[in-house]
């Protein structure tokens, strides 16, 4: 079997690259796109949930601080009328 020439090696490399590109195009079909869309939807849902939890935590902190101020005021003023 004769050895390859440089031109033949270039052609082999180009055919390999063409096959790799076609393979990547075929692999980028519906399955991967669907998974990406599902993942991005999941991320949006989690971000919305985190925002809701942050808002609730802020409200709870506000209520906790109000309760602490009320308790401190009761200690200073003493018990109410009986």
> For the segment 23-34, what is each residue's pLDDT rounded down to a tens digit?
888 887 777 788
pLDDT of residue 1: 64
What secondary structure letter does DSSP report for 28? Answer: T
φ, ψ at 28 (rounded to 5°): -85, 30
pLDDT > 90: percent of the chain:
59
Query: Which residues neighbour 12 within 8 Å (Cβ) at sequence distance 6 or greater?
Result: 4
| Segments of the chain scoring below 70 in pLDDT | 1, 78-82
Query: Which residues neighbour 4 within 8 Å (Cβ) at sequence distance 6 or greater?
Result: 12
Q: Name residue, tokens 């020439």.
A: 5
């Amino acid at each position: 079997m004769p050895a390859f020439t440089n031109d033949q090696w270039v052609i082999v490399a180009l055919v390999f690259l063409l096959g790799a590109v076609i393979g990547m195009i075929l692999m980028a079909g519906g399955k991967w796109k669907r998974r990406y869309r599902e993942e991005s939807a999941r991320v949006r849902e989690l971000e919305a949930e985190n925002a809701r939890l942050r808002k609730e935590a802020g409200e709870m902190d506000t209520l906790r601080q109000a309760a602490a101020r009320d308790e401190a005021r009761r200690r200073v003023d003493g018990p109410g009328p009986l």
